[in-house]
Structure 1
Amino acid sequence: MLCCLNPACHNPPNPDGTIFCSNCGVGLVVLRNRYRPIKSLGAGGFGKTYLAEDIDKLNKKCVIKQLAPQVQGTGALQKATELFEQEARRLEQLGEYPQIPTLLAYFEEDNCLYLVQQFIDGQNLLKELQQQGTFSEGKIRDLLQDLLNILKVVHQHKVIHRDIKPENIIQRGDRKLVLIDFGASKQLTKTVMTAKGTMIGSLGYAPLEQMQGGEAYPASDLYSLGATCFHLLSGIHPWELFTKQGYTWVSSWRQHLQQPVSLELRRILDKLLQEDYQQRYQSAEEVLQDLNPAPPSTKVSSQPPISTPRASAKSPVKLKAWQQRLLAGVAITLGGLVLTQFVGYVRYGLFPTNPISVIASQDSDVFLTRTLTGHSNSVSSVAISPDGKTLASGSDDKTIKLWNLVTGEQIRTLTEHSSPVNSVAISPDGNTLVSGSDDRTIKLWNPATGEQIRTFRGHTGYVNFVAISPDSKTFASGSSHKTIKLWNLTTGKQIRTLTGHFKSVDSVALPVIIRPQSLEPDKQQVISVAISPDGKTLASGSYDNTIERWNLETGEPIRTLTGHSSQVNSVAISPDGKTLASGSGDKTIKLWNLTTGEQIRTLTGHSDWVSSVAISPDGKTLASGSWDNTIKLWNLTTGEQIRTLTGHFNRVYSVAFSPDGKTIASSSYNTIKIWRLR
Structure 2
Amino acid sequence: MLLLRCHLKQALPEKVLCRFCAVMGKLQSKLKHSTYKYSSPDGFIEERIQTKAFQEYSPAHVDTVSVVAALNSDLCVSGGKDKTVVAYNWRTGSVVKRFKGHDREITKIACIHKSNQFFSASRDKMVMMWELQGPSQPRQRFSGHAMVVTGLAVSPDSSQLCTGSRDNTLLLWDVETGQYVEKASVSRNLVTHLCWVPREPYILQTSEDKTIRLWDSRGLQVAHTFPTKRHIQTYCEVSEDGHRCISCSSGFEGEGCEATLWDLRQTRNRICEYKGHFQTIASSVFLPRALASMPVIATSSHDCKVKIWNEDTGVCLFTLSLDGSGPLTSLAVADTVSLLCASFSRGIHLLRVDHSRGLELREVAAF
TM-score range, shorter chain: 0.7 to 0.9
> Residue 100 of structure 2 aligns to which amino acid in structure 1?
T
Counterparts of 1:606 and 1:371, CA distance in 2 = 29
SS across alignment from 2:219: coil
Corresponding residue for residue 358 of structure 2: none
Q: Which residue of 204, 224, 233 maps to 1:568?
A: 233
User: Which runs of 5 or more residues in structure 2 are unaligned?
Assistant: 1-5, 12-19, 39-49, 251-255, 355-367
Larger Rg over CA atoms: 1
Question: How has the CA–CA distance of structure 1 residues 539 and 624 changed in structure 2, closer, same or farther, with 3 Å as cutoff?
Answer: same
What is residue 105 of structure 2 aligned with on the other side?
420
TM-score, with length taken from structure 1: 0.43
- Aligned pairs for 1:137-286 (under 5 A) are none
Give the 3 Å change call, closer, same or farther, for CA 559–662 of structure 1 in structure 2. Answer: same
The answer as to whether partners of 2:66 and 2:107 remain within 8 angstroms in 1 is: yes
- Greater helix share, structure number: 1
Q: How big is each residue's C-alpha offset from its partner over 1:271-311, in whole Å with a ceiling of 9 and x where there is no partner? A: xxxxxxxxxxxxxxxxxxxxxxxxxxxxxxxxxxxxxxxxx
* Structure 2 match to 1:642: 317
Q: Which residue of 2 aligns with 1:591?
A: 261
Report the equivalent of 1:535: 200
Greater relative contact order (Cα < 8 A, sep 6+)? 2
The answer to whether the Cα contact below 8 Å between 2:272 and 2:313 also exists between their aligned partners in 1 is no
**8 Å contact kept, 1:535–1:552:** no
The alpha-carbon distance between structure 1 residues 554 and 369, as it changes in their structure 2 partners (threshold 3 A), is farther
> 2:97, 2:132 within 8 Å by CA — same for their partners in 1?
no
Between the aligned partners of 1:528 and 1:374, the Cα distance in structure 2 is: 24
Question: Alignment partner for residue 405 of structure 1, among 78, 90, 94?
Answer: 90
Q: CA deviation at 1:357?
A: 4.8
2:286 aligns with: 615
Q: Is the 8 A contact 1:356 1:371 kept in 2?
A: no
Q: Which residue of 2 aligns with 1:494?
A: 180
CA contact (8 A) 2:123 2:148 kept: yes
- The alignment covers a number of residue pairs equal to 311
Q: Match of 2:328, SS?
A: coil
* CA deviation string 1:435-462 (max 9, x = no partner): 0011111000012344420111111111
Q: 2:217 aligns with which of 513, 532, 552?
A: 552
For residues 312 and 56 of structure 2, the distance between their equivalents in structure 1, rounded to whole angstroms, comes to: 30
Q: Name the structure with the higher strand share.
A: 2
Once the 2 structures are TM-superposed, how far is the Cα of residue 667 of structure 1 from its aligned partner?
0.7
Relative distance call for 1:362 and 1:598 in structure 2 (3 A) is: same
Aligned to 1:675: 351
Q: Structure 1 358/573 Cα, relative in aligned 2: closer, same or farther at 3 Å?
A: farther
Matching residue's letter, 2:319: T
Give 5+ residue unaligned stretches, structure 1: 1-316, 326-334, 343-354, 507-520
The corresponding residue for 1:483 is 169
Contact in 1 for aligned 2:123/2:149 (Cα 8 Å) = yes
Superposition TM-score, scaled by structure 2 size: 0.77
Q: 2:86 touches 2:95 (CA, 8 Å); kept in 1?
A: yes
User: Which secondary structure does the structure 2 equivalent of 1:423 belong to?
Assistant: strand
State the shift of 1:655 in Å.
0.4
Aligned to 1:624, which of 296, 299, 303?
299
Query: Match of 1:572, as an amino acid?
Result: E
Residue of structure 2 in register with 1:526 after alignment: 191
* Counterpart residue identity of residue 618, structure 1: R
**1-side partners of 2:53 and 2:182: how far apart?**
44
The aligned counterpart of 2:272 is 601
Whether contact under 8 Å (2:272, 2:312) holds in the other structure is no
Query: By how many angstroms is 1:613 displaced?
Result: 1.3
Identity %: 24
Give CA-to-partner distance per residue, 1:288-340, whole Å, 9 cap, x none. xxxxxxxxxxxxxxxxxxxxxxxxxxxxx9x8xxxx89xxxxxxxxx9xxx9x
Question: Does 2:122 align with 1:452?
Answer: no
Change (3 A) 1:440 1:569: same
SS of the counterpart of 1:590?
strand
Q: How is 1:32-71 mapped onto 2 (pairs within 5 angstroms)?
A: none
Match of 1:431 among 107, 116, 119: 116
The alpha-carbon distance between structure 1 residues 549 and 393, as it changes in their structure 2 partners (threshold 3 A), is same
- State the 1:361 CA deviation: 5.6
Indicate the SS of the match to 1:375: coil
Runs ≥4 residues deviating over 6 A: none
Letter in 2 for 1:587: C
